[in-house]
Amino acid sequence: MDRDLDALAIDPDIERAQTLPGWVYDDPAWFARLVERVFPQTWHLYPLDAMPRAQGEQVPWSLLPGALDEPLLLTHDGAALRCVSNVCTHRGFVMVEQPSSAGGIRCRYHGRRFGLDGTLCSAPGFETSPDFPRDCDHLHAAQLHRWRELTFVNFSGGAAFEAWFRPVAQRLDAVVPQSMSFDPAGSPHYEMNANWALYCDNYLEGFHIPYVHPGLNAALDWSVYRTELFAGGSFQIASAKPDEPAFSLPKSHPDHGLRVAAYYAWLFPCTMINVYPWGMSVNIVLPQGTRRTKVVYRRYVWDASTLERGAGAGLDAVEYEDEAVVEACARGVRSRAYQAGRYAPEHERGVHHFHRILVAASRAPA
């Protein structure tokens, strides 16, 4: 069915608004629009362990595999990390297939060489070509930013990193130390039969916690669960029951006085940063077409003494509980009987906000 994608709108008044219609979660044209207009212009987390740390090291990777499949190269030029296209500007050869410490970037097809920042250094066969090199003969450079152990990349513009990330930094800089250990054992990958946006919808409300997560629910003081919105995402702040682990927050912190058990930060579109007294667990959501989603977990620990206690315990079980409900919604929103729902105004502000950001972003020029 041909649908008018530009006609999609979410009422700003949450009490009156209807949710995204069911078809949005299963429409190839809508997904193609996100791939064209939204995902290339938003910030995404680098999902791999391999990290260039010394001059000349380079790691090939794919941005949003399954959706963008954009071949990129993370490099270290001695001073800083950089992210450039891994696609040769001559005939489109993907140049680097394995991590290496080769120094500059060399295309094996016809011998072009590029610097680690993407500058074209030499191009055999083009010595007499007029108007060469043009700007587009250098490698495309993506924007890159680091926060703690996380590396964010934006392929082509959109919001400036500082503005997008500021609300998260303001809240988390004081609770996330500079130094932490990556925990490979706590960093599994998951896959489910559901649209990526359904996974986000579910993440963005604590409304389901008492119904779906009995273990997590037992650790939380449900009476003080908060959701706060900001331009590029939202925070959910969960408070601990009296004997459960909580942050000790300095007087200057906006949440001083609360016994915070967990911060759940979501950044549009695919980044989730969960911070507990023991450390941080990051979910990188990777849309795989309309009906499948991969989630890469990355866990970083700074206080192992509270690991597997409180809100940050048993994350694997919580993930499976979430996947089960998300997959059931994926089947349900395709029903001929389902059109769209309404938002519970007290509990689903995060979901409403996501839908509004998504619809606005989908209208960006292609």
Between 109 and 320, name the residue whose CB sits nearer to ligand FES: 109
Residues near Fe ion (CB under 5 A), total = 1
Q: How far apart are CA 287 and CA 308, in angstroms?
A: 29
CB-CB contact of 350 with 237 (8 Å)? no
Minimal distance, residue 88 CB to ligand FES, in Å: 3
Closest to 199 (Cα-Cα) out of 209, 189, 191, 207: 191
Among ligand FES, Fe ion, none, what does residue 107 contact (CB within 5–8 Å per kind)?
ligand FES
Among Fe ion, ligand FES, none, what does residue 322 contact (CB within 5–8 Å per kind)?
Fe ion
Between 39 and 199, name the residue whose CB sits nearer to Fe ion: 199
Between 28 and 111, name the residue whose CB sits nearer to ligand FES: 111
Q: Which residue reads 């939202």 in tokens?
A: 234
Q: How far apart are CA 274 and CA 272, in angstroms?
A: 6
| 3-state SS string for 316-334 | HHHHHHHHHHHHHHHHHCC
DSSP structural state of residue 257 = T
Q: Which of the ranges 132-140, 187-195, 274-282, 316-324 carries the binding residues for Fe ion, by CB under 5 A? A: 316-324
Minimal distance, residue 326 CB to Fe ion, in Å: 9
Structure tokens at 361: 């972003």
CB-CB contact of 298 with 281 (8 Å)? yes
Residues near ligand FES (CB under 6 A), total = 9
Q: Which of the ranges 29-37, 158-166, 181-189, 320-328 carries the binding residues for Fe ion, by CB under 5 A? A: 320-328
Positions 77 through 136 that interact with ligand FES (CB under 6 A): 88, 90-91, 93, 107, 109-112
Closest to 260 (Cα-Cα) out of 277, 274, 239: 239
Between 94 and 318, name the residue whose CB sits nearer to ligand FES: 94
Closest to 204 (Cα-Cα) out of 311, 47, 343, 333: 343
CB-CB contact of 95 with 87 (8 Å)? yes
Q: How far apart are CA 61 and CA 71, in angstroms?
A: 6
Structure tokens at 157: 């513009």
Among Fe ion, ligand FES, none, what does residue 351 contact (CB within 5–8 Å per kind)?
none
Binding mask 276-315 vs Fe ion (x if CB under 5 A, - otherwise)?
Answer: ----------------------------------------
Closest to 144 (Cα-Cα) out of 196, 77, 206, 198: 77
Between 90 and 226, name the residue whose CB sits nearer to ligand FES: 90
Minimal distance, residue 106 CB to ligand FES, in Å: 9
138 in contact with ligand FES (CB under 6 A): no
322 in contact with Fe ion (CB under 5 A): yes
What does the DSSP assignment read for 333-349?
TTSTT----B--TTT-H
- What residue number has its CB nearest to Fe ion? 322
140 in contact with ligand FES (CB under 6 A): no
Give the interface with ligand FES as residue ranges (CB under 6 A): 88, 90-91, 93, 107, 109-112
Please give the residue ranges that form the binding site for Fe ion (CB under 5 A).
322
